Amino acid sequence: MKATATAHPNIALVKYWGKRDDELNLPATGSISLTLEGLSTTTTVDFDDRLDCDVVALDGEPLDHGRPYRRVVAFLDLVRKAAGIDRFARVETANDFPTASGLASSASGFAALATASAAAAGLDWSRPRLSALARRGSGSAARSLFGGFAEMYPGTRSDGRDAHAVEIADADHWQLRCLIALTTGKQKSVGSTPGMQRTRDTSPYFPAWCDTVDGDLRAAREAIEHRDFEQLGTVAERSCLRMHASALSADPGVLYWNGTTVELMHRIRAFRTRGVECFFTIDAGPHVKVFCTVDHLQRLRSMLQKFDGVSKVLCARPGRGARLADAASQPPG
Ligand code: PMV
């Protein structure tokens, strides 16, 4: 009853921001992302009948019984219930990139946890079903079950079974690159769940934000299909800025950016006017993710490395979906 899985974070090009159901973690709208290899989470789950509580270690450090631990235990409870088992588990998880800073560590974390815990519990589930399970841990994690470009369906069922991601183009479809400019070492001030709740409950712009998403999903699907960089950049920056506009107009406003974040947005746009193929996106944190074509990678990377306020630049490429370490027993479909 032991399994190990690896998953990568994904970065949304059409953002998810707001839930239609808090309990089942159902998104209010769809979203589209790119799964990124070069950053990974590896998680081992061992259901062991000698344990008298779940034991969780993150990056080698045992977790105390605070919120991150309780999220993992609540997730394991779902798996135990589905598998009809009552054993506690030992969970060891490690990220090779900064945790909880707006770098989508919860996406790769819950995608790896869903894949490893379901296999360890003997559940032979399809990828869409594992994706819906991963969603219970973190909405964006549902997309990391898939490689390349993934689309999350918000679904219409009240039980959430149709709220899962699908792959819309695999990792080899389009050789984009994503540079991640870290603008702080600090953990984010408002998590995505409270940030979304406050936006939904208090922002006068939240309904308007939701109304824009379907059009952006259509435009992004089309841009991906035709590998139209300019169109994808237009949609992605628009979706990012509208998501943040809805959050900024909550009460009190949810502000994830620092000064460097804003300076970088200006710099990316200035580069683009000089013919460099690039666009930015920003999640629930101050880091800036810059997508570019392979041809312009080196020029952008050296600009970002020298940029005042940027502490580190990570580089990622389109990656595979979550998978078990044991290659012979990958989730089907
Ligand atoms: O999956 P969560 O709850 O961490 O929310 C992710 C929210 C954003 O990263 C800001 C947008 C997205 O679609 O990934």
Is the C-beta atom of 108 inside 6 A of ligand 1? no
The pair of structure tokens assigned to 190 is 């408002």
Separation of 100 CA from ligand 1 center, angstroms?
11
> Could you read off the pLDDT of 111-123 as tens digits, one per residue?
999 999 999 999 9
Separation of 269 CA from ligand 1 center, angstroms?
24
| Arithmetic mean of pLDDT, 141-162 | 97
99 CB-contact burial (10 Å; exposed 0-12 / middle 13-18 / buried 19+): middle
Is the C-beta atom of 283 inside 6 A of ligand 1? yes
The pair of structure tokens assigned to 8 is 């990568």
Q: How far apart are CA 10 and CA 144, in angstroms?
A: 6
- 56: confidence class by pLDDT, cuts 50, 70, 90: very high
Is the C-beta atom of 12 inside 6 A of ligand 1? yes
Nearest CA to ligand 1 atom 9: 283
State which of 8, 10, 14, 16 you would mutate to test the pocket of ligand 1, scoring each by most atoms of that ligand within 8 A of its C-beta. 16
- 227: confidence class by pLDDT, cuts 50, 70, 90: very high
Q: Which residues make Cβ contacts (< 8 Å) with residue 238, sequence separation at least 6? A: 216
Separation of 48 CA from ligand 1 center, angstroms?
32
Q: How far apart are CA 84 and CA 328, in angstroms?
A: 25
Is residue 17 helix, strand or coil? coil
Say if pTM beats, i.e. exceeds, 0.85. Answer: yes
| Arithmetic mean of pLDDT, 142-160 | 97
> Could you read off the pLDDT of 173-222 as tens digits, one per residue?
999 999 999 997 776 679 999 999 999 999 999 999 999 999 999 999 99
Q: Which atom of ligand 1 is nearest to the CA of 106?
A: 4
Q: How far is CA 303 from CA 113, 200, 233, 298, 312, in A?
A: 36, 37, 19, 9, 12
Question: Average pLDDT over the chain, rounded to whole?
Answer: 95
| Arithmetic mean of pLDDT, 17-34 | 97
Q: Which atom of ligand 1 is nearest to the CA of 283?
A: 10
Q: How far apart are CA 304 and CA 240, in angstroms?
A: 20
Q: How far apart are CA 5 and CA 326, in angstroms?
A: 8
Q: Which atom of ligand 1 is nearest to the CA of 16?
A: 13
| Arithmetic mean of pLDDT, 59-75 | 94
Window from 88-92, 187-191, 253-257, 296-300 with minimum mean pLDDT: 187-191
Q: Which residues make Cβ contacts (< 8 Å) with residue 264, sequence separation at least 6? A: 181, 183, 280, 288, 290, 304, 307, 310
Is the C-beta atom of 25 inside 6 A of ligand 1? no
Is the C-beta atom of 290 inside 6 A of ligand 1? no
Separation of 5 CA from ligand 1 center, angstroms?
21
Is the C-beta atom of 183 inside 6 A of ligand 1? no
Would you state the pLDDT for residue 97? 78
